[in-house]
């Protein structure tokens, strides 16, 4: 009886060591596959824009398109002060999805016209951040055929362009 218990304990111990060994090897392979897919996604991103890409119609009323969009998603209206809008220029925004399935990454590219604008918005107490003319945040907007297709943060003083990040899970801001 004791012999059976000892043999069973030894067998469980050996299985535990085997499982730890195998899982360690599998993890390294998974990390390598993830790195390879990231490199592949970055190579794809640097090949853009595609020749003959369709950017849609030029947004003549881009300021109103952006203000309507912000009001619709955040309820922003007269409480947001907009700085100087950049002129729309043809650009694109990229995203890569599906990092959990290393065999199938979905690459998404959106073409349109990008506009950047610094803003000053009110905090939760109804006060502007800094002075009224202190633009503490900025956003880029990719407009396609009269609609905002994508939007994100933009730092005043940086080049105005759409999202270029090939973001992997756990990367925070991405590696773009």
Task: Please report the pLDDT score of residue 133 as a whole number.
Answer: 64
CA distances to 9, 11, 121, 165 from 5, rounded to whole Å, are: 6, 10, 70, 56
Higher pLDDT pick, 139 / 171: 139
Provide mean pLDDT across the span 106-122: 85
Q: What is the pLDDT of residues 116-139, one digit of tens each?
A: 988 877 767 777 766 656 666 788
Q: What percent of the chain has pLDDT over 70?
A: 62
The Cα–Cα gap between 54 and 107 comes to: 17
For 47-100, where are the alpha helices, taking DSSP H only?
62-74
Check whether 150 has a pLDDT greater than 80.
Answer: yes
**Contact status, residue 37 vs residue 99, Cβ threshold 8 Å:** yes
The Cα–Cα gap between 64 and 81 comes to: 14
User: In this structure, how many other beta carbons lie within 10 angstroms of the beta carbon of residue 120?
Assistant: 20
Domain that holds residue 50: 1-176
Question: Has this prediction a pTM greater than 0.85?
Answer: no
Confidence tier at 108 by pLDDT (50, 70, 90): confident
Q: What is the pLDDT of residues 36-90, one digit of tens each?
A: 777 887 788 888 888 999 999 999 999 999 988 887 776 655 577 788 899 999 9
Specify the number of domains making up the chain: 1
The Cα–Cα gap between 53 and 93 comes to: 13
**Contact status, residue 84 vs residue 117, Cβ threshold 8 Å:** yes
Check whether 115 has a pLDDT greater than 90.
Answer: yes
The Cα–Cα gap between 21 and 19 comes to: 5
E strand or H helix that includes residue 40: helix 2-46
């Amino acid at each position: 009886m004791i012999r059976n218990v000892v043999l069973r304990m030894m067998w469980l111990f050996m299985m535990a060591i085997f499982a730890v060994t195998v899982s360690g090897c599998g993890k390294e392979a998974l990390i390598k596959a993830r790195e390879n897919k990231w490199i592949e996604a970055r190579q794809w991103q640097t090949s853009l824009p595609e020749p003959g890409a369709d950017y849609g119609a030029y947004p003549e009323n881009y300021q109103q398109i952006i203000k309507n969009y912000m009001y619709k998603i955040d309820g922003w209206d007269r409480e947001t002060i907009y700085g100087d809008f950049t002129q729309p220029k043809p650009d694109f925004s990229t995203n890569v999805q599906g990092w959990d399935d290393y065999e199938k990454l979905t690459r998404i590219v959106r073409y349109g016209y990008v506009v950047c604008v610094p803003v000053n918005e009110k905090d939760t107490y109804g006060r502007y951040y800094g002075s009224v003319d202190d633009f503490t945040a900025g956003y880029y907007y990719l407009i396609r055929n009269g609609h905002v297709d994508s939007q994100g943060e933009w730092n005043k003083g940086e080049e105005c362009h759409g999202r270029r990040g090939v973001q992997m899970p756990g990367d925070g801001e991405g590696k773009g």
